[in-house]
Amino acid sequence: MKKIMLLGSGELGRELTISLKRLGCTVIACDRYENAPAMQVADRSMVFDMLNEAQLRAHIQSVDPDLVVPEIEAINTQVLLDVESQRTIVPSARAVDLTMNRDRIRDRAAEIGLPTAKYGYAENLEEMLALYNDMACKVVVKPVMSSSGKGQSTVAAGDGAAAQEAWHHAVENMRGDRPKVIVEEFISFDYEITLLTVRQKNAETVYCPVLRHQQVDGDFKMSEQGTFEMGALEATAQDMAKKMTDDLGGFGLFGVEFFIRGDEVIFSELSPRPHDTGLLTLYTQNLSEFDLHARAILHLPISNIAALRPGACHTINAAQASPDYGVEGLAEVEGMRDVEAMMFGKPDAYPNRRLGIVFAPDVETATAARAKIKLTYASQ
């Protein structure tokens, strides 16, 4: 029985824990706060700061896991690089180190020849404004380390005041201790996609049907699968995803994001783990992204990936901070044909925190179902 140390215990970690336990694993769920979603279904839990080198190193030593599985960005990756000779880091310590910071993964994508937006980095406001002025175009400003699009802003050309606000927003929402932002050309794209790419030890790389997703202020809100066609562009995206994941190495599921503009496929970002847009696969596929990740990291065969039905999802986000919250409208949503709601079990709320999601056959139905959900908040 494999012992898994899960670093990060949010909703993605919860579903991965369920998949791993179905395959006989023992899971120790770790995060910086108590009663995180994965902790509610894991065998054991630990609360500590995973950016703290001494704490992370000591806890890995005390747990002595077979596999260390990162689920979030805010991790001291140097510790993972140091301990990889004694245990397996998923998908690999190098992959985690490169992808935890947008500057490193963007640079690597450009080095291996993937098309990307124009970009640059800044470590203070003056550098950021100089870069913004030099680019002389609409840009996206975001921290090099953050999660779920937090700290991201779009700034039109020639708006210095908005650019300054974007710097402060990025720094206030960054993870880790790196006051560094990426400033990239805004791609006027037709749509964005996530290609869930599964790298295996004993078989070829395989792919899930492509997901199209929508973001609001850089944060994932909706995705759909099996409701649209990409034609030959899907094969182009697969070739690019394989090139990137082969370069990173290791085994497991990667969420590779692209912009689609006309007949162009442009690399955006990559996560070396299950992806938030892929929550939809719990509804649409025979094996969810969590099942696939679990099988790949345990070196178990994946016989096939089948789309059972088309679908779409819409997140349920908090509107305010509250130590407790309630959910109204679930009965009405569950009464809709082929619609499912899922709450993540997070212990409290803060503005825009993702607390749940609804699944439906199409975007219109998912949007209608989400509108029926009302969150109520405890008085402060």
Tokens of 54: 């001494």
Q: Which of 192, 269, 289, 291 is catalytic?
A: 269
Task: Name the amino acid, one letter, at 221.
Answer: K
Cis peptide before 323 (omega within 30 of 0): no
Give catalytic status of residue 364 as yes or no: no
Task: Supply 234's token pair.
Answer: 């899907």
**Of residues 276, 291, 322, 370, which has the active-site annotation?**
276
CA 155/CA 140 separation, integer angstroms: 6
- Nearest Cα residue to 312 out of 229, 215, 212, 230: 212
Distance of CA 157 to the CA centre of its chain: 29
Which residues is 362 bridged to in the sheet? Answer: none
Select which of 147, 153, 315, 365 is catalytic: 147
Q: Is residue 227 within 8 Å of 248, Cβ to Cβ?
A: no
**Rg of the chain in Å (alpha carbons):** 20
264 is catalytic: no
Give the pair of three-digit tokens for residue 99. Answer: 């992808």
> 218: which 2 tokens?
């850089």
d(Cα 191, Cα 216) in Å, to the nearest integer?
A: 13
Q: Which of 120, 149, 252, 356 is catalytic?
A: 149
- Residue 151 tokens, joined: 């700290």
Catalytic residue, chosen from 153, 354, 356, 370, is 354
Cα gap 77→178, rounded to integer Å:
13
Tell me if residue 147 is catalytic.
Answer: yes
269 classed as catalytic: yes
Give the active site residue among 192, 257, 289, 291: 257
Active site residue 338: no
Active site residue 277: yes
Instruction: Give the active site residue among 9, 88, 194, 277.
Output: 277
Which residues carry out catalysis?
A: 147, 149, 257, 269, 276-277, 354
